[in-house]
Amino acid sequence: MTFLDGPRPRVIAHRGLALDAPENTLLAFLKALAAGATHLETDVHASADGVAVISHDPDLRRVAGREAGVGHLTMSELRRIDLGHGQGFCSLAEALEAFPQARFNIDVKDERAAAPTAAAIRDARATDRVLITSFAKSRREAVERELPGVATSPSVAEVAPALAAAKAGLGSAVRRTLRGFDAVQIPERRGPVQLVTPRTVAAIQAAGVEVHVWTVNDAADMIRLLDLGVDGLVSDRCDLLKALVDSRTLG
């Protein structure tokens, strides 16, 4: 099994499925997989004791109503934080162990998380079933250096030249810019700029790279983007997306 095995489109659960479950918890991941998600999107920070901990935010304000930073607490302390529904923070290693067949799309959120993220993946022998991405090129590359052959996606800043080349019809420049990447994961728009168009999707796919769009929760938007031919959607409602994909397949 590798990260991009299996039929498309990819149903990528954004932080799991947070219906009757806190986001980015083992319960949210379990619910996402039960709903038919093909991939789990998640985020990692580093705890105070250097463990890769699954969390989108750098602090606990939004998810737990506390002022503490994730990086200021140990993994043991983070596990004891009540996130609701009997869930606390979990480590990346625990998630990889709990779901040994699941594919994880991992966004590295801080520099300190790079080394423990790579170690957790390596220890779980999960290199083939993860994709590494980050808003910072340096963070992604730090993990990539430790995990040769791991699937990757560029940051939005890195992919900007490829998008510009695609819009200009410069296929060779798109291929050159995206060489070594497996997927481009972008929002449909960035401010007033439309990033996902028939031309950009076709050019990126012609370079042998998949196009995944985030974060898509409206059914009409899902249909429109799937009709455009994107390879996957990142969604908070993987249950709705899976049902829609199934109905299109059966139809």
Q: Which residues are catalytic?
A: 14, 56
Nearest to 175 by CA among 146, 207, 131, 149: 207
Tokens of 112: 């300190």
Three-point CA angle 68, 26, 14, nearest 5°: 85
Q: Dihedral, CA atoms, 67, 140, 121, 32, nearest 10 degrees?
A: 60
Give the separation between CA 23 and CA 89, rounded to whole angstroms. 10
Look at strands 193-194 and 189-190 and give their pairing: antiparallel
Nearest to 63 by CA among 78, 77, 83: 83
Tokens of 206: 């012609």
Query: Long-range contacts of range 57-63, CB-CB < 8 Å, 24 or more positions apart?
Result: 58/109, 58/110, 63/22, 63/23
Give the separation between CA 239 and CA 206, rounded to whole angstroms. 30
**Angle between the N-to-C axes of helices 198-206 and 156-167, in degrees from 0 to 180, rounded to the nearest 10:** 100
